[in-house]
Structure 1
Amino acid sequence: MADTSLHDDARAASRPEAALGDYWALLKPRLMSLCVFTALVGVVVAPASMHPILALASVLFIALGAGASGALNMWVDHDIDAVMKRTRSRPIPDGRVARDDALALGLALSGGSVVMLGLAANWLAAGLLAATIAFYAVVYSMWLKRRTDWNTVLGGIAGAMPPVIGWAAATGTVGWEAVAMFALLFAWQPPHFWALALFVRMDYHRAGIPMLTVTRGRAATRRQALVWAGLTVPASLFLAVSSIGGPLTLAVAVVANAVWLHRAWAMWRRDDAAAEADGHTAEKALFKWSLVYLFAHFAVLALEAGLRGAGLGGW
């Protein structure tokens, strides 16, 4: 017991002092940027006027909530992150930030972001933000990610919530258009993450994470990615013809979905030998297009909202 205590004290003493950038990294800024973008679009396209300062404040508090989720996730995943090649340089496994500090930061940002969003917008939006943080930090990070290959699908609930929270912040309600934005993000996430998992499969295997590539194999993963890519199409087209869509949204939806389905199909047709031989080019192509696909859909919705405000857009 004494030896363990001395070992822990030695590790704490040898840990370099954390820099501001290390705490910023705990918030998963790339994931936060996606949440900010989709939440902002949710606010912009909502059929309600919101004071610009309150709108920006609301998006900021949603971003802080997303950052809180990231910090809490890193607190939970410290053991997994230390094993995986792409995550072992994160602040906690690399020894730059103590786990307790990450937990304290995550809890502080969680409480602060929820309360401030309630004060700046309304308590429906705040409640949705609180539920999202709890789902990602507890249900996904502690249970789904470690126990079932449904982790990618069900975990997508948290990732799909920002535009709904943005819509609720602006309107105090949740409309069908917000549900469609949720559906698009929810169905988009499995192909996006499975394409990544196909070319970093051994990372998940070493960490013991029951990703679909590990539990059911790469052929099943490619098949499921194609199915879920197809499931994005109805949500995409619904948004295009809805009250927040328009001709531009429909044109973007048609082109983006055509490329999206073609790349998912191309990935599905491959076998493991072909993928290994050419460095997983089809998997990487689908992963890269998934980013373009999502940005294009939400950007054109925001553009339609601006044109509609000027009396030029919409149906």
Structure 2
Amino acid sequence: MTRSALPLQDTANGQVATLAANGFTAQVAANGATVVSLEYNSRPLVRAFDPRSPRPVFSGAILAPWPNRVIDGAYSWQGQDQQLEITEPERGHALHGLVMDTAFEIAEHRADFAQLRTVIEPSAGYPYRVQLVVEYRLEAGGLRTFAAATNLGEGTAPFGWGSHAYLVAPGKKADEWTFTLPAGKVQLTDGARLLPKEVVEVSGTELDFRTPKPIGDLFIDHAYTGLAAGADGLFSASITDTKGLGSQITWDEACPWVQIHTADRDDPALDRTGLAIEPMTCPPGGFNSGQDVIALAPGASHEASWLIGPVQPR
């Protein structure tokens, strides 16, 4: 018997679709194609928020057409200089793309599935027309995100994906969790503006989580690469409590980078209460350096996928 979809709800974050299947429940908001909540057998896997209130610090949002920062909002693409709006004024950068606050259309909604669509229209600093289709599906292993971008315009567009989920494990803070990330390299940053610097080996540094270890009071706001795939050919990262309960995110080779952030904030309700684990197709400053930026030709598409699920004690 197929379960009927619950009605869409109107909230401060646009329409919200509720999904339920395989022991999981999730909420997805139209604004930013945002994952509002995800639970497995009533245990939270991401830091949830009340969709009737403003979304806190990008929680669960889709990041496109670039993740992380464009330094000074300025970049050059195929011989043309571009200037984006500065959306992170305290650091002077263009942050997390153009669709964080876009009202996606919920084009399809079933009990275990939602498809959201929008089109990035040409604008200052990004004179390209790109369609985004983001699908959420509750599978046996968790919440699958499938993201596809198609260039509807005439020029080749620079493009990058990212997602901004804050994963959680039982307990109040990241300080209590054990983190595992099989990544051999990390990008250093410079100063309060978090300017990207060189990529170095993690070996011998406190940022090495190839062997599971507690986060403690370590501050992390770094992009990792040099990812080691598992036997299934996928990349993954996880957090667990002392009993081995937690959450994990698994993603494919479309995203060779992952941003990790310990969510340090002045607000006690947000401070280190989740660990941002953000698969990305390109690094911070990718539009500036050109590294791993997708050249999306007219009519071409690019796809990426990731899955958030539970970790259980062995």
Both proteins in one fold, TM over 0.5: no
**TM-score, normalised on structure 2?**
0.26
**TM-score, normalised on structure 1?**
0.26
Higher Cα Rg: structure 1 or 2?
Answer: 1
